[in-house]
Structure 1
Amino acid sequence: MTSRRKVVGLTAVILALGCVAGGVTATAASANSNDTDRHDLQHSTRNYEIGLFGDMPYGPKGRVQYPDVIADMNSRNLEFSVFDGDIKNGSEPCYADVDGSAQKAGQPDVYKYALNLFNQFRDPVVYVPGDNEWTDCDRPSTAGPTFDSVDRLNYLRQVFFPDNRSLGSRTIRLTRQSSQYPENVRWARGPVTYVGINVPGSNNNYIPDGDIKDGPQAEANAEYAARNAANLQWITDSFAAAKASGSKAVMITLQADMFGDSSATPGGTTIDPTDHFADTKALLARATVDFGKPVVLVNGDSHYFTVDKPLSDDAGNVIENFTRVMTFGSSLNHWVSATVDPADPAVFSFHQHIVTANLPAYKFN
């Protein structure tokens, strides 16, 4: 994750949304016993709950506590869950089987390790990539060898997105943007269109002049330019799909905390770690206003739970039908749920779930 200022988050917020049945057409897939897609429309008037989580497991502590998160989420009847990036911490090496680095180091393939954990969830899981598993893999600051970030992204795509199914013991169908960008996805349940986009922390993988901590600048910036164009198109296409289906709300999940502070390099150059999210935020602002209905952005990256309204127009007016939900992570191994009730004017309500087994032993002097 990138450095962020820490603000006080709300512990519980109810977000008022409208309701109506809607759907997005998914690509074809053969039916199987785990298919839950039949609930898309005919159950559009029933309540359901989804899970929101990310930034775990981080290091040895996270690997001990993550199973308790999985168990807690499996104890709920979740329609699906969305993981908003970072399957490991940023200082751990990106070992993989694709180049034999995992075997050479006697370490597990971190991608297949995470895949196995996702498939321990009883209900479907949609995974959106974070920076720690690809953009940061070429940093010398990792505790092991550095790897090519683009190579790791391509490997990640092979492991997690081989078809149009979600992860989890039960699966749902997803519409993927393309074979080049399979991590960009869309699906629907009842009144809501859901979208996943590969927008990672670390300035969206853009490396400005003067940034000395990242890998090859030319490669990173070329990757950023192509993926960013695809991301902007996917946002546009997804709002169009939501309108066409009659959805009354859109939820978008990405990894980056796009609302942060500037920082200075050792050479004194000021770098804004969020400047290459500017066009994403500008498009979200215009699309949200044009949609005219509630839009929720879910992200991780900064590791604390908050619900706020950080998006404004060019005149500084807060866009009030846009709400951001940020999930727990790192040393805070807990999760957030969103309850969808189409019969209630509120429709979405967000709740924190503190996993009791993961609470520390508090000490005071």
Structure 2
Amino acid sequence: MYSKLLATTLLFSASALSSTIDFVVFGDTPYSKHEQTLLKQPDGKFAQLLTQVKHDFIVHIGDIKAGAQPCTNELLQTNFQLISQVSPKPFVYTPGDNEWTDCDRPSLKPSYDELERLEYVIEHFAQHEVNLPKFQRQTKQKENQVWEFDGVKFITLHVAGTNNGRDNILNSDVSKARRLTDRRDENNFEWLNQQLPQQQKAAVVFMQADIYQKPASRNACIAENNQSCDGFKAYREKLNQLATSLDYPLMLAHGDTGEFCFSQRKSGLWHFNAPGDYRIIDMALVSIDTKNASHFSIKPLLSSQPIDSCAE
């Protein structure tokens, strides 16, 4: 376990940059016309910044529209085009709850069947190949992806908010929705186990959900109880176990909540809650020193404020 790793927010010198993997992480955006403008090519502030910042790829960790906006095809397509074209570098996306699990809210006009929206998101946004080294999509779950840079593994898992899609199922068959969540969990853990070998420099896992939100239930979701349960407990336990057992640093990057924080948990897992969700409109530049992969560096692109430590 890497209990003594250094986490910094310092800029690398030009010589150090040549030995780093640099990537941009953002999520929970665009939620407004202002945020759409920031992303728009060629004059949006983010679009301009990304032409000046060295990065190898860019990852959107879900929620491509506000929860109060209806999940129309037009809005999903418009916003996906904005986020996928904001940078000239390879773009990776993992789904969030706003684009499917929350689309059945009665306040939304129209209100959708969330499972139909999930099918739409996967069909339109989780099929293309991404020009990244050793890029693959999971056969069983196309939205799960993996790629590798210089001995560092990058993995996406489809874990969404709203208790991982288990709560507030209003317009869909409830038992079917929960069975599909059970299947996603099985696929996610299978993917994670397949893609994290013992020998590696470092690994980063991306998902949308904040699995550290206080749960309504303390019981894990199992076959005998897949509704009144904590849909994230198994993920917390699995990531902690991996961080303890793997002989290299492991970082979780997620969104869904407004905190912008980065720190190491007691298990050794590096925990990064990316900016977004109205509170902090920004992107984060993450750097990994390939000569010493125990060093993660994270800094915001727009603001100069220090990054808080995440609550344990």
TM-score by length of 1: 0.69
Inter-partner Cα distance in structure 1 for 2:247 and 2:183:
29
Q: Report if aligned partners of 1:137, 1:148 keep a CA contact under 8 Å in 2.
A: yes
User: 1:195 corresponds to which residue?
Assistant: 155
Inter-partner Cα distance in structure 1 for 2:7 and 2:291:
19
Give the alignment partner of residue 286 of structure 1, picking from 238, 241, 260.
241
Inter-partner Cα distance in structure 2 for 1:308 and 1:57:
26
Q: Report if aligned partners of 1:258, 1:274 keep a CA contact under 8 Å in 2.
A: no
Inter-partner Cα distance in structure 2 for 1:61 and 1:216:
36
Inter-partner Cα distance in structure 2 for 1:274 and 1:298:
23
User: 2:3 corresponds to which residue?
Assistant: none
Give the alignment partner of residue 8 of structure 2, picking from 3, 14, 37.
14
Tell me the CA shift for residue 349 of structure 1.
Answer: 1.2
C-alpha distance 173-149 of structure 1, shift in aligned 2 (>3 A): farther
User: 2:223 corresponds to which residue?
Assistant: none
Provide structure 1 residue ranges, at least 5 long, that are not aligned to the other structure: 1-11, 16-44, 97-107, 265-271, 311-317, 357-365
User: 1:123 corresponds to which residue?
Assistant: 89
Inter-partner Cα distance in structure 1 for 2:158 and 2:270:
19
One-letter code aligned to 1:325: F
Tell me the CA shift for residue 252 of structure 1.
Answer: 0.3
Deviations 1:99-141 (A, max 9, x none): xxxxxxxxx3423541354124111111111110011112213
| Aligned residue pair count | 277
TM-score by length of 2: 0.80
User: 1:298 corresponds to which residue?
Assistant: 253
Matched, 1:343 2:304: no
Q: Report if aligned partners of 1:262, 1:273 keep a CA contact under 8 Å in 2.
A: no
Q: How do 1:2-41 residues align onto structure 2 when only pairs under 5 Å count?
A: 13-14=7-8
Tell me the CA shift for residue 224 of structure 1.
Answer: 0.6
Q: Report if aligned partners of 1:59, 1:92 keep a CA contact under 8 Å in 2.
A: no
Secondary structure at the counterpart of residue 350 of structure 1: strand
Q: Report if aligned partners of 1:48, 1:339 keep a CA contact under 8 Å in 2.
A: yes
Matched, 1:174 2:135: yes
Deviations 1:290-335 (A, max 9, x none): 213210000001123101334xxxxxxx202x11101111322211
Tell me the CA shift for residue 350 of structure 1.
Answer: 1.4
Matched, 1:76 2:41: no
Higher relative contact order (CA 8 A, sep 6+): 1
Deviations 1:241-293 (A, max 9, x none): xx3xx3121100000001112459xxxxxxx9981111122222222222132
Inter-partner Cα distance in structure 2 for 1:53 and 1:136:
20
Secondary structure at the counterpart of residue 50 of structure 1: strand
Matched, 1:328 2:294: no
Secondary structure at the counterpart of residue 147 of structure 2: strand
User: 2:72 corresponds to which residue?
Assistant: 95
User: 1:27 corresponds to which residue?
Assistant: none
Deviations 1:148-188 (A, max 9, x none): 1121111111212223325xxxx66621111x411101110
